[in-house]
């Protein structure tokens, strides 16, 4: 595996691969890699001739300076993991390399970016669009891989891809979970022992939400019960739980508004750590 530090090195590596007719799989990450990221890398490895993984903690998508400062940075361990997965190129640039001058682009991301994470973290999705559009431009991937844990991010990236005329394929990949159901996330390392023990309640509540849907509860009822159950647990504080259409990310009032299955998206503070997760509801529930 080659570690590329500059945009020029990345462009050259990509140009060479493209000239040889090779497909390119891009896995954008912010490092602190876990099995969730590795599942994306493996999928990219299966489906492409050349795999590029970027490791870059993108400052423009953090609306909280403390969050940016304390975000885990584990470059050496990350590169060792990528090497073991036969990644061809790890793109590990500095902030100055990516943003030699401030990126002032404002993307018209529309309503997918206005709800949930977009409402709670102003500017976050514009920052994601800035970095991912740069990566798409430089790496020119045939396919780009994103985890469904950040399902709203995928909808936003699809919108950005339309805006910039990206002609590759965006490949959403399943959420990877710990044995107790907790969705894998780089932020899980910040949970203390008590919070780590409490956190799996989030996924249990999401599963219970699907059960109530199947049993005939309306989206509003499912929402109330889920939020109530989680807030009753010591150490948990639900920021939002929305039942939304999978493409538009807009809340649904009735299941038939999302005939292919709504998504329940949740953000919970667990021992002070902000965790996000989501679950798919069945395609044809009763109400
Ligand atoms: O999901 C992430 O890790 C980041 O938002 C991404 C897509 C790598 C952009 O910085």
Ligand 1 centre distance from Cα of residue 253 (Å): 30
136 & 266 share domain = no
For residue 180, tell me if it sits in a domain. Answer: no
Same domain, 103 and 148: yes
Please list the alpha-helical segments (H only) found in the chain.
7-19, 35-47, 65-70, 75-84, 95-98, 117-120, 124-139, 151-164, 193-198, 201-214, 219-231
Give the CA radius of gyration of the chain.
Answer: 19
**Could you tell me which residues are beta bridge partners of residue 244?**
251, 263
Q: How many CB atoms lie under 10 A from the CB of residue 43?
A: 18
- Would the CB of 58 count as within 6 Å of ligand 1? yes
In a domain, 61, yes or no: yes
Specify the ligand 1 atom closest to the Cα of 29.
8
Same domain, 73 and 197: no
Whether residue 194 is found in the same domain as residue 169: no
Q: Given this model, what pLDDT does residue 170 score?
A: 98
User: Is there an atom of ligand 1 within 6 Å of 133 CB?
Assistant: no
Kindly state whether residue 181 falls inside one of the protein's structural domains: no
| Rounded distance from Cα 15 to ligand 1 centre (Å) | 24
Regarding whether 162 and 114 lie in a shared domain, the answer is yes
Residue with CA at minimum distance from ligand 1 atom 6:
29
124 classed as catalytic: no
Is 127 near ligand 1, meaning CB less than 6 Å away?
no
28 lines ligand 1 (CB under 6 A): yes
Q: Could you list the pLDDT tens digit for every one of the 287 residues in the chain?
A: 999 999 999 999 999 999 999 999 999 999 999 999 999 999 999 999 999 999 999 999 999 999 999 899 999 999 999 999 999 999 999 999 999 999 999 999 999 999 999 999 999 999 999 999 999 999 999 999 999 999 999 999 999 999 999 999 999 999 999 999 999 999 999 999 999 999 999 999 999 999 999 999 999 999 999 999 999 999 999 999 999 999 999 999 999 999 999 999 999 999 999 999 999 999 976 55
Q: Ligand 1, from 58, 171, 276: best to mutate by most atoms within 8 Å of Cβ? A: 58
Give residue 54 CA to ligand 1 midpoint distance, Å: 9
Range of the domain at 209: 186-279
| Shared-domain flag, residues 132 and 55 | yes
The answer to whether residue 34 sits within a structural domain is yes
Contact 50, 25 (CB under 8 A): yes
pLDDT of residue 284: 78
Q: Is residue 178 part of a domain?
A: no
pTM over 0.95: yes
Instruction: Establish whether residue 219 lines the binding site of ligand 1, counting it when its CB lies within 6 angstroms of any ligand atom.
Output: no
Does residue 137 sit in the same domain as residue 77? yes
Clarify whether residues 155 and 123 are in a common domain. Answer: yes
Ligand 1 center to residue 287 CA distance, Å?
Answer: 36
For residues 106, 246, 278, 67, the Cα torsion angle rounded to the nearest 10 degrees is 0
Q: Are residues 156 and 55 in the same domain?
A: yes
Domain boundary among 107, 138, 173: 173
Which of 145, 173, 201 lies at the terminal end of a domain, its last residue?
173
Q: Are residues 113 and 15 in the same domain?
A: yes
Ligand 1 and 131: CB distance under 6 A: yes
């Amino acid at each position: 595996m080659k570690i590329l530090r500059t945009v020029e090195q990345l462009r050259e590596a990509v140009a060479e691969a493209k000239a040889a007719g090779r497909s390119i799989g891009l896995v954008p990450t912010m490092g602190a890699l876990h099995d969730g990221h590795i599942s994306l890398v493996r999928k990219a490895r299966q489906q492409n001739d050349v795999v590029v993984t970027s490791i870059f903690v993108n400052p423009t998508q953090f609306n909280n300076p403390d969050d940016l400062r304390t975000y885990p940075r584990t470059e050496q361990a990350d590169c060792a993991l990528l090497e073991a997965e036969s990644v061809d190129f790890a793109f590990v640039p500095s902030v100055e390399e990516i943003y030699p001058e401030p990126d002032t682009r404002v993307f018209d991301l529309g309503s997918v970016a206005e709800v949930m994470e977009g409402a709670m973290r102003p500017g976050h999705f514009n920052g994601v669009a800035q970095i991912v559009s740069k990566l798409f431009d430089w790496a020119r991937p045939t396919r780009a891989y994103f985890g469904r844990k950040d399902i709203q991010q995928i909808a936003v990236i699809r919108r950005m891809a339309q805006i910039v005329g990206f002609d590759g394929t965006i490949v959403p990949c399943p959420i990877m979970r710990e044995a107790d159901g907790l969705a894998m996330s780089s932020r899980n390392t910040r949970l203390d022992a008590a919070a780590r023990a409490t956190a799996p309640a989030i996924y249990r509540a999401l599963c219970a939400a699907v059960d109530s849907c199947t049993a005939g509860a309306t989206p509003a009822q499912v929402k109330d019960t889920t939020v109530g159950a989680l807030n009753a647990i010591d150490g948990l504080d639900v920021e939002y739980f929305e039942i939304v259409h999978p493409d538009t990310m807009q809340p649904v009032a009735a299941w038939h508004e999302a005939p292919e299955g709504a998504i329940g998206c949740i953000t919970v503070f667990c021992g002070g750590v902000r965790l996000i997760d989501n679950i798919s509801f069945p395609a044809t529930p009763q109400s």
